Amino acid sequence: MGWLASLRRLSPAERRTLILAWALLAVAPLLLRVLPLRRLLTVSPRPRRPALAPERVAWIVAIAARRVPGTFCLPVAMVSAWLLAWQGTPATLRIGVVRQADRLSAHAWLECAGRPLIDTLDGYTPIVGVPVTAR
């Protein structure tokens, strides 16, 4: 009952965003396998609805990702980017690396107005930045 009660506390716009995030997170891994990243980050803007704050959108996507098995950072950043682009908010998807002991680790995150949304980057050096654009 706790999860359902939390769902009821969301505004209608937040609930719509959460449901859409679940659906997009389910198909994002397949899309990443068949389409280039730059193509995936060129989205058609949707009709204007009341915009949610970028941090709120990223938080909702992170909550949805907890309920989608096998979700990792790139689909989460990509879905957050889509949702923000659809509401007209510019963002940049970044991919960075960090050396930990004898291995290299990669991570993807989303930035809005030059600030990372949700994630703490703990030493990741950005190597790729792809602006999310509306066509």
Half-sphere exposure at residue 135, Cβ-oriented, CA atoms within 13 angstroms: 7
Q: What is the pLDDT of residue 5?
A: 62
- Beta-bridge partners for 91: 132
The token pair that represents 8 in the structure block:
């009821």
When pLDDT is cut at 50, 70 and 90, the band that residue 33 belongs to is very high
Q: What does R_g of the chain's alpha carbons equal in angstroms?
A: 15
pLDDT at residue 20 above 70? yes
- Number of structural domains the chain divides into: 1
pLDDT, tens only, 81-128: 999 988 888 899 999 999 988 899 999 999 998 899 976 788 899 999
- As a whole number of angstroms, the distance between CA 44 and CA 15 comes to 21
Q: Which domain holds residue 20?
A: 2-134
Q: What is the pLDDT of residue 70?
A: 83
DSSP 11-54: -HHHHHHHHHHHHHHHHHHHHHHHS-HHHHTEEPPPPP-PPPPH
